[in-house]
Structure 1
Amino acid sequence: MSNCPAGACSNPSAATERQLWNGGGATCNESVRLDGELRAALARNELQVYFQPQFRADTLVINGFEALLRWPHPHHGTIPPATFIPIAEQSGFIVDLGMWVLERACEHAAPLHPRPRLAVNLSP
């Protein structure tokens, strides 16, 4: 999960909570908690994929879509990807998230004709 220097893991203060939900860094305890909540959200199918259109620069015609993962947290509102993606990368859960987004994007695109180009961001 998280590599914390000795004594660095502490209960989050109200200011730290605000920073976290606004896309700031997470403390060690917050990272562990969010990792568990993110895994549970995926298991409960609470995550969402949004499709952002991509345009040809010369014609301004839509030529594809980018699949974007969003996490509407039931108690904290939408948690920014800048908050939860680094936590998922650190814990190794990013592989499961990436596969889930890829599967959802393909499910949405499969019935469309012609099939659109899709872009999905993947982490190493």
Structure 2
Amino acid sequence: MGKAKLFAWGVAIVIFIVLMIVTPSIPQSEEYHNFADQRKLFFGIPNTLNVVSNVPYLVVGVVGLILCYHGNYFRLSLEGELWGWSFFFVGVAAVAFGSSYYHAMPNDARLVWDRLPVSSCIVN
């Protein structure tokens, strides 16, 4: 990587950090955490249907990882492709855990765990 490109990346990172520090946070309404299903149905899990509905993310993430590595099902030819798809499917599986953790007891402190895995899937 040339010096000019490295300098440009450094400037961009510094600008990003400064903007993150000076930009005020956007408040989240408390009504956001008020979901329709607030029952304890299955083994006393709070907000059961909201929590259990995340299981398909885990299934898709695990199946995707298995297909990536078992016999090259997707016919990936470059090492970067395998890494990219692996990170994507790990992110999809992580959505199941993060979203379930948030939906079990929705509040501002847990909201980051609902959104973080989703944003990792978008980045890939």
TM (norm. structure 2) is 0.26
**More strand per residue: 1 or 2?**
1
**More helix per residue: 1 or 2?**
2
TM (norm. structure 1) is 0.26
